[in-house]
Amino acid sequence: MAGKFWTFFAMQCVAYLVLVTNLRAISALQYVPALGTEMLYLVIQWTMLKKVVGATSKWEQAGYVLGGASGTLLSMWLTRSWG
């Protein structure tokens, strides 16, 4: 159970790290980082769709939700100098 939690946590954390970095790059008019993070986010989402469709446990759901929130906060911290 804990393994599934951490798998989904890590997937969502990385996905939201990339997504929020992408949104911050767009708002700061950083064209190259925006393009790169957009394409990376789409690859991640395509891969995650295959895994999430089979998810059924509460542990997977909790990892998915908490990982997304953690990725958002991590991206905000890493890109804080972008304004």
Name the average pLDDT for the chain: 90
What does the DSSP assignment read for 41-71?
HHHHHHHHHHHHTT--SHHHHHHHHHHHHHH
The domain ranges of the chain are 2-82
- pLDDT classification of 83: cutoffs 50, 70, 90: low
pTM passes above 0.85 = no
Question: Closest Cα to residue 12, out of 53, 41, 54?
Answer: 41
